[in-house]
Structure 1
Amino acid sequence: MSEQRPHGSCIGLCQFDQPGFCPYCVAAAWLPARAGARLPGPQAGSGGAAQPQPGHRYLGALEELPALGRVLHRLDRVPQGIGWNHAQLADLLPSQPPVQAAVLVGLVPRASGTQVLLTRRTETLRSHAGQVGFPGGRIEAVDGHPAVAALRESNEEIALLPEQTVALGFLDPFITITNYRVLPLVAVIDPDFVAIPSPDEVAEVFEVPLAYLMDMRHLRARPVDWGGNTRSVLEYDWPGQRIWGATAAMLANLHQRLQQA
């Protein structure tokens, strides 16, 4: 049973579940006015997905919503562990603790089917220049929650506003070869959202059909030489863009999760 109360956040109306959480507050928690807001509760992975609310009617257009609600890690139960792929990189990682990071796996419901929002980094960046990935970055101390970090970084990189997204839950943690432990936050993005790339960071914002990315016939394991050994790196065949490495692996993890629905 839920209780509705007026609230000054993104949709103007909070939907409280029994433990007293609003599943939408996370979308605005990093705003200065919401610094003391409670972070989100169990709408994903709790036996049912979030339901469309005023201001978020696009949520109901996401056909994968029920399945995602069953398989994602709940927002209030942040997944632990170093990373599902740690064993593959254990001999390459340094001894110091990994840098904590979060990214936004944005799903856009469209008439043609669900799309995945991706960015291509500028060629002038010191790391990962020109590479395709999800918006996101390092979790700062002021964030307080990985979902807040993913949303803050998305706002900085592509001008995604809190009221234009609904956070659903997490995929499994992923460790990168550069010693970043990444938590991918799956969220629904308003199809009316128009990205404004930060010129210092983002060269391009584009979408790829989720159905294409969830078809494992489009995913290849390419051999690369690293650390004196031959290793496999995942890569999607997508015209005009190279979707590979950590981004491809996180998408493969999404596929694995959806197979469990």
Structure 2
Amino acid sequence: MKYAGFIGPGFMISVAYIDPGNYSTAVAAGASYEFKLLFIVLLANIIAIFLQSLCIKLGTVSGMDLAQMCREHLPWWLNIFLYVLAEGAIIATDIAEVIGTAIAINLLIPQIPLVAGCAISIVDVLLILIFYRPSGSIKGLRAFEFFVMALVLAVVICFCIQLSLIKDTSVGSVFRGYLPSKQLVESQAIYQACGILGATVMPHSLYLGSGIVQPRLYAYDVKHKYYTPTPPTTASSSSSS
């Protein structure tokens, strides 16, 4: 139970891996090759876990997120280059998120067109930015994390219900998909595999992973007296001294 308080940030990071981009890519791969590309899914998730663990360790040890560390230790021209690459990748992946959300809203409420659904998806991101206060009260932060956890668990339950409805599929055929096969080198399968890899290993999730642990680490260190916060100095105190 010592590290149970860090489950919330873990659930928030998991949102980056259960987004509409992942859904659409995985569904397209499954429709074309059934379970034969599960090896790529497994490989992509192993890579993502490895990179995410490195980012979390970076944030834990240094007290800075990935973007801050890049700015601190890399030359300015390389920071600009990395920013352009990361921003381009984020925009490319967010296109699937926005359009996927709009399609989902349209399926649930047909009266809402796709353009309005895209606008709603943009507004909900702004609302999250408004309510998410990493430097605020830890109770408020936990309430936000519980809200995200409820959404993630709802997605998991829905997927479990959908998987239970699948008929005429043996467990062996599913597990055989986690082994490399000759279908992986087919031309169309390579495109699908690249899509799965790109939808799983995303730059914004790495920046999120290194930064989202900061408030919880700060509260943990202060609570266990590993760190004593320095009171801010005021102009009056400095002038009197």
How does the TM-score come out when normalised to structure 1? 0.20
- When Rg is computed on C-alpha atoms for both structures, the one with the higher figure is 2
Q: Which structure: greater strand fraction? A: 1
If asked which structure has higher relative contact order (CA below 8 Å, sep 6+), I would say: 2
How does the TM-score come out when normalised to structure 2? 0.21
Q: Which structure: greater helix fraction? A: 2
